Amino acid sequence: MRKFFVLLRKEVAELLTRQIVIPMLAMILLFAALGKVLSVQKRAPHPVEPLRVLDLDRSALSERSLGALRTAGFRLVQDRSADRAGALGASSRLTLPLLVIPEGFQDRIMESQRAEIELYAVFRGLNIRSLAAMGQVARSVQTVNADMSRFAIGRAAGGASADLLRSPVSGREFVVLGGVVENLPIAQVMGLVQSQTYLFPVLIFLAIMFSAQMVAMSIVSEKENKTLEILLSSPIDRRALVLAKLTASALVALALTAAYMIGLRSFMGAIAGDALAQANAAARTALVHLGLQLTPAGGFLIGLSLLFGILCALAIAMVLGMLADDVKSAPAATTPLTIVLLTAYLLPLFVDMDASPAALRWTLLAIPFTHAFLAPQNVMLGKFALVALGIAYQAAVFAVFVFVTTRLFAGEALLTLKFDMRAWLRGRRAGAPRPGEAS
């Protein structure tokens, strides 16, 4: 056992180098800082985009429309030009969007005909903030349309409540999840579920990818530096050597992933917002009753599924890393793992596992990483048995690959096992069998 811990200490020291830690810490701090800036920007009051208005109708209804815009929060700037050409021709004023109420606006509405207004949006930039400002400007047409709709309905109904006639039915929304019924806005629940089910898979994907790349590079660098030959010639149990490498990689990957999750959580929280924090006390209680707030038990199951997903990736990456001759060829050797991982990550986001064809469903479930990606959804839906079965399956896959890795380490094939891509391509062009070999 003492030899195992000596090996474990050695492997952790080799993996936890400045070249790995410093870039990861820099990225974590960057995400945390960006999240803080975005959070402050989100809470800060945004200045209202001025809207330049050219009223060519100069009627009672056009004045009413301008009043509706002011009530809706628009900051109007009157344009005194005689016509559109004058308003558009003033280059100094083209920095502001322009709303034109043409002649005959009131006459057409009074004659029960559809009137038009013109909106000229000025894009001063193509960043998110500028696009959001133009989206607010585009809302001006909807504001005028809603006010004129109330006027026309009230006029036709002889003074009856226009708001009642436009919306005679009000709805109460209920959410049913796992047999629990709660009176909640559907949009609020969707926002919370999306932030959870989209955020967790991203973090899981990054954790597994980072872990797999790390262990593959460790094996390849030891082969390239000839230190693996020294290890294999020493009186050390090969199983202890394999487990030490896997344990060290898992510990380092989990530590860095935990720190990475903190930074990314801050960044994503500033963008998506926290539905529980925005909800009132009654809504928070209802969300908890629905099971949409992770309990310690649910978080433990998700973490356990993530842990075994990482261990499966480590064991597979260790086998694939043995096929690479040098550090440059390591990414190519781990390409099959990357493809399988992307499949397990992307398809469950777009495919309903319950309604998909059986062949597709079982293919996805045969990939051990799929269970880690589905764990947050299953925990929220109360399907704890499925999460437990997934963890058991991941543990079985991990055990199989540990056995394969141990057998490879037991012989001398590890030092000569390789896959030459150029020779493979030449052989395929000549119609020869694949030249992957273990001599």
Instruction: Tell the CATH topology of 50-162.
Output: abc type-2 transporter like fold (3.40.1710)
pLDDT of residue 424: 44
**For residues 41 and 33, is the Cβ–Cβ distance under 8 A?**
no
**For residues 320 and 339, is the Cβ–Cβ distance under 8 A?**
no
Average pLDDT across each block of 10 residues of the chain; the chain has 439 residues. List them in order. Answer: 75 70 71 67 61 91 93 88 79 73 91 89 68 79 90 77 72 76 77 67 78 78 74 72 76 71 61 51 68 75 86 84 74 84 86 82 92 85 89 93 78 54 50 45
End-to-end CA distance of the chain: 33
- Print the SS3 string covering 170-222: CCCCEEEECCEEEECCHHHHHHHHHHHHHHHHHHHHHHHHHHHHHHHHHHHHH
**If 0-12 CB within 10 Å is exposed, 13-18 middle and 19+ buried, where does residue 388 land?**
middle
Burial 297-311 (b: 16+ CB within 10 A, else e): ebeebbebbbbbbbb
Q: At 158, give phi and psi (nearest 5°).
A: 70, 40
Q: Are strands 50-55 and 75-78 parallel, antiparallel or unpaired?
A: parallel
Write down the domain spans for the chain: 2-38+184-430, 50-162
Give the other-Cβ count within 10 Å of 392's Cβ: 11
DSSP structural state of residue 111:
T
Taking the C-alpha atoms of residue 257 and residue 250, their distance in angstroms, rounded to an integer, is 10
Query: Residue 415: CB partners within 8 Å, gap ≥ 6?
Result: 223, 228, 229, 232
The model carries a pTM of 0.63
